[in-house]
Structure 1
Amino acid sequence: MNVPNTKPQPAIRTGDGRAWRRIRRFLQELPAWMLILPSIVFFTVFSWQPLISGFILSFQQTKGYDAVKFIGLQNYIDVMSNSVFQQTFINTIFYVLWSIVIGFAVPIIIAILINEMIHLQTFFKFSVYFPSMVPGIAAALLWVFIFDPGPSGLLNMLMNKLGLASAAWMQNPDWTIMLIVITMTWRGFGTSVILYLASLQGVNPELYEAASIDGAGIWKRVWHITLPQISPIISILLVLQIIGVFQVMYEPLTMTEGGPNNASMSLMLQSYFYAFRYFEAGRSLAVGVITFVFLLLFTIIYFKLNKKFNGDD
């Protein structure tokens, strides 16, 4: 007679099952973690660690690039009470305003004109984008030659041919920021034109046909159809342009070194001078943190506009 085995079997512990599932999930995700690990290390070492270290160093008295002692907000007080900083902040605002006046409407107008063309669209797309491929320093040096105040300056040579007097150009403090913004617009507007063109391709052509039937001219079609249809990308690119111009540095560094009489000095250029000309790292980082706060505000606006553009509200 067989007696059934009534010996109780050991129960599987819930904790062991959960641990095994975690291990199995980790092994499944391991290839993905291996792919993103270099990026995590790169951003940690070259982005986040310097950012945090710089923020901490901005509250320190420094000797060269070494921290000496904690002084709280003294670097910020010294920087913001400096008349040069006050002028620099106003200059940065003027950079942004001039970039909106000169550089904001230009890409929209060029994109609309190219979009209306039937022939040679590819040629004009390449033509407007080509300056964007020129390195920034090279473009700035090119415009230095154009705006040279001497008789050998390209623009002065042209004016002399027309019987006009030579001008000081970059040496005139009333013109300096405007001329630097023209340089920046020439080099950077091509990318915006391509983005606007891509957005214009998504406008429903039936809207233009209906407007034409109603007798609307080209200006009314642009004002009532084109601009409202691409308004989301216009808003986003406006914020991105403000963020970019707020960080302007190498154009005034290359073309004027912040002159004449600090007339073209920007916040980032002042931070650069503090760090590499005066070797005052604490004050340099204080200016950088102040700039970062403004850029953070603009970035928040950008993300809100981007969220609205993607319909995530």
Structure 2
Amino acid sequence: MKQRKKYSLQKRRLSLGGKDISGWILVIPTILLFLFIVWRPIYIGMKYSFYSLKGFTPVEFVGLENFKDVLTDTNFMQTLKNTLLYVFWSLIVGLPLPFICAVIVNELWVGRTIFKTLSYLPCVIPAMAVYLIWKMIYLEGDGGLLNMLLYYLGQEPVKWLANKNIVILLIIITMSWSGFGSTMIMYLASLQGINRELYEAARIDGAGFWGRIRYVLFPHMRGIVLLMAIRQIISVFQITEQPMTMTGGGPNGASMSLGLQMYNYAFKFGQTDRSLAVGVIMFVILIGLTVVYFKLEKKYSD
């Protein structure tokens, strides 16, 4: 009897060990890729941010000196403010419009497929081409599309991207136009997951269009809207190529972002150590936002 139990236990251990081995064989390549492509550069970047660098070679350990230089830079607070303004305007412009259009399309019975196709077309255009196209639309003088329209309406041309009060909003409009289709499709997919019987029950109870939105749609969509908002905040907080392509951070630093400042430190001014310090600051902020994202995702997935 004891021998049978011992044999059964050994067999179970071998079986579990076999499953573990096959699982590890599948997982190890992914772990190695993350280790060398993601985690190793992050570790090296954080480590080198505490050093004085010559190019990309550490010369001397300086502790928090790089962070002090970055944080006391006269342009840092303005750049941080600009980055937060990018996030703010993206939530005002880029978050509600795709949701509203998704609700409208979900109510359509005719032309839904055509509208979805037309809305998604900007997403297939290469990002850099989008920024250059919109830069031409905002172009100063008579060459820009917007100024041509103003000219035909008898109005004076406007220096769109040279206006520090609206330049961030104009860049966000460009980003929102580019990503509108994919965001709307995600909202629409979630909307179509709502049981149609709930809408029918709401209609029978006398609920109109706004009543169905309030009592059926909002409770179901609240989670996905919050998750999309957090994802958008994380994405826009890293904005770099848009202001770099359209304005170069101007006018007078009015569209400079933390991501573009980090790029300039490294490749324009040759101050790699400061660039890494800015990167670590952004990393810490984004880690906090990511923790919030996963907590919300877990809450609404459950």
Interval of TM-score (by shorter of Structure 1 and Structure 2)? over 0.9
Q: Distance in 2 between matches of 1:25 and 1:209?
A: 51
| Alpha-carbon distance, 1:100 to partner | 0.8
In the TM superposition, 1:154-303 aligns within 5 A as 154-303=145-294
The worse-fitting range, judged by mean Cα deviation, of 221-230 and 23-32 is: 23-32
Give the conservation status (yes or no) of the 8 Å contact 1:274–1:284: yes
TM-score w.r.t. length of structure 2: 0.92
| Alpha-carbon distance, 1:280 to partner | 1.0
Aligned to 2:96: 105
Consecutive unaligned residues of structure 2, counting only runs of 5 or more, are none
Q: Distance in 2 between matches of 1:161 and 1:233?
A: 43
Match of 1:59 among 34, 50, 72: 50
| Alpha-carbon distance, 1:27 to partner | 5.2
Consecutive unaligned residues of structure 1, counting only runs of 5 or more, are 1-11
Q: Distance in 1 between matches of 2:191 and 2:96?
A: 15
Q: Distance in 2 between matches of 1:229 and 1:95?
A: 28
Question: In structure 2, do the counterparts of structure 1 residues 226 and 23 end up closer, same or farther at CA, with 3 Å as the change threshold?
Answer: closer
> What is the letter of the counterpart of residue 290 of structure 1?
I
TM-score w.r.t. length of structure 1: 0.89
1:84 aligns with 2:84: no
| Alpha-carbon distance, 1:36 to partner | 3.3
| Alpha-carbon distance, 1:285 to partner | 0.8
Q: Distance in 2 between matches of 1:247 and 1:44?
A: 22
Q: Distance in 2 between matches of 1:238 and 1:209?
A: 30
| Alpha-carbon distance, 1:35 to partner | 3.4
1:79-123 CA-to-partner distances (Å, cap 9, x unmatched) read 011121110000011001101111110111010011111112111
Q: Distance in 2 between matches of 1:261 and 1:19?
A: 73
SS where residue 122 of structure 1 aligns? helix
SS where residue 90 of structure 1 aligns? helix
Root-mean-square deviation (CA, aligned residues, Å) is: 2.3
Percent sequence identity over matched residues?
Answer: 45
1:143 aligns with 2:115: no
Match of 1:42 among 26, 33, 41: 33
> What is the letter of the counterpart of residue 153 of structure 1?
G
1:137-178 CA-to-partner distances (Å, cap 9, x unmatched) read 111011011100121111111111122211100011111100
